[in-house]
Amino acid sequence: AQSVTQLGSHVSVSEGALVLLRCNYSSSVPPYLFWYVQYPNQGLQLLLKYTSAATLVKGINGFEAEFKKSETSFHLTKPSAHMSDAAEYFCALTWGNFNKFYFGSGTKLNVKP
């Protein structure tokens, strides 16, 4: 069975501080993992994806994530938060070819000036 858990429904950081959004997964097959960002009243925009190549994945807007099989984690980080990073972030999992996505419950990131 597949599932995704995002710890922390709300995370608040100061501008310039490290962003760490947590994602843990459970999968009985090798997973492919994604992070999406959703700005208010907008759709889901892909930030980055892990597809069994490099375990450290770099995405847009300075975000990166590291796939750690031993910890079943795929945490999202950014060294220095910007005000424009305030949004909701979703971790998602799929496997194989063109299968459905399982989403985490999302983490709302607030960036304080």
Partner 1 sequence: EPEVTQTPSHQVTQMGQEVILRCVPISNHLYFYWYRQILGQKVEFLVSFYNNEISEKSEIFDDQFSVERPDGSNFTLKIRSTKLEDSAMYFCASGGQGDLAGGYNEQFFGPGTRLTVL
Using CB under 8 A, list all residues that contact partner 1: 32, 34, 36, 41-46, 49, 51-53, 90, 92, 94-106
Looking at beta carbons only, is 37 or 81 nearer to partner 1?
37
44/7 Cα distance (integer angstroms): 19
Looking at beta carbons only, is 14 or 99 nearer to partner 1?
99
Give me the least distance between CB of 44 and partner 1, in Å please. 4
Looking at beta carbons only, is 84 or 105 nearer to partner 1?
105
Cβ 66 vs Cβ 72: under 8 Å: no
3-state secondary structure of 17: coil
57/59 Cα distance (integer angstroms): 7
